[in-house]
Amino acid sequence: MTKIKIVTDSSITIEPQIVEDLEITIVPLSVMVDGVVYSDADLKEGEFLRLMQSSKNLPKTSQPPVGVFAEVFERLGEHADKIISIHMSHALSGTVESARQGATLSNVDVTVIDSSFTDQALKFQVVEAAKLAKAGADLEDILAKIEEVREKTELYIGVSTLENLVKGGRIGRVTGLLSSLLNIRVVMQMKQHELQPIVKGRGVKTFKKWVNDLAVSLKDKKVAEIGISYAGTAELANEMKQILQPCVEKTISVLETGSIIQTHTGENAWAILVRYE
C-alpha cells in the first residue's frame, strides 16, 4: 500500500485536533511587524491582532523559504512514498512556487497543488485529501477528490476597510474598486484567483443583508459544509453562524483566521466558505 502524506501552509484555518488526527504537516509562513519576524506557527489566538493594532507600519508576510520545503519533504519522505502539498492561491502569495522549487530540490515524489483559495476553503481540500491518504487511497483518487472539492467550493470575504489590501498591494487583485473609498464595507468572492467585489455599502448592515440573502440562496442547494473565519472579535461571525446553520447539517466551524490573512484583510474582516455536495 502506497503511503501518502499531506502538506499545506499556515494560511489554512483549521482546528489543531484535525491536524493531529489526520497527520497533516503545516509549513509556517512568517510575518514581520515593525522589524521583528514572527513565525506564523508561534502566534497564539488574538496575539497577532494586538501586534497589528499597535504597529507603526503594515506587517509584511513572507512565504516559507525553498529550503524549508525541501527539508520538510525529505523528512516526510523517510516514512512516505509520495507527498501531496496543497497551498493557497498563487495570487495571494509565492508559497506554492516555493513549494514547487522545494519539491525539485528534494529526492521525494511530491505533487504540488494550487488550491485556488486559502483559509477554510483550503482546509476543505486538505482535510478530504488527508482522510483519503489515511485510508490508503492511491494518488490519482486523492488528486481527483481535491479537484472535485475545489470545483464545488466558494469563498466569500467581507472587509471593513480596504486600507490593508491597498497597502499590501493586493488591491490590484480586487477589480473595479476605488481605493479612495477606504472605509466602505465590501463583500468579495474569490474566483479564478481574483477577488471580485459583489456588494459595497456603509455600516455592518451591508454584511448582514448579504448573509441573509446568501442563506436564502442556499436553501435549495445541497451544502456539504460551511466554514466561517474572522479577524478581530467573533461576534459577527457567530451571528452569521446562526443565520447559516439551518442550510447545512454539519456544524459550522467558526475560527479565527491566522496572521497571514489578517495582514491583508485588516480588523473586523470575515470569510464564509461554502462547499457543495
Q: What are the tens digits of pLDDT across the range 33-51?
A: 889 999 888 887 778 878 8
The pLDDT value recorded for residue 182 is: 55
Alpha-carbon distance values, 146 to 104, 151, 157 (Å): 22, 9, 22
Q: Which segments of the chain does DSSP mark as H helices, in order? A: 16-21, 47-54, 66-77, 95-105, 119-134, 139-151, 163-167, 205-218, 235-244, 259-265
Cα–Cα dist 195/188, whole Å: 6
Mean residue pLDDT of the chain comes to 90
Average of pLDDT values for 6-23? 97
Residue 220 φ then ψ, to 5°: -95, 5
**Comparison of pLDDT for 181 and 133, the residue scoring more:** 133
Domain spanning 4-151, CATH architecture: 3-Layer(aba) Sandwich (3.40)
Q: Domain spans of the chain? A: 4-151, 152-276
Highest-confidence range of 58-72, 158-172, 178-192, by mean pLDDT? Answer: 58-72
* pTM for this model (two decimals): 0.91
Question: HSE-up of 115 (CA within 13 Å, CB side)?
Answer: 32
C-alpha cell at 31: 510575518
**Which H or E run contains 191?**
strand 185-191
Q: Report the amino acid identity of residue 66.
A: V
Please state which architecture CATH assigns to domain 152-276.
Answer: 2-Layer Sandwich (3.30)
- Split at pLDDT 50, 70, 90, the class of 167 is low
Which pLDDT score, from 0 to 100, does residue 29 have? Answer: 95
The residue ranking higher by pLDDT, 182 or 252, is: 252
Q: 3-state class of 172 per DSSP?
A: helix
Average pLDDT over every residue of 75-86: 97
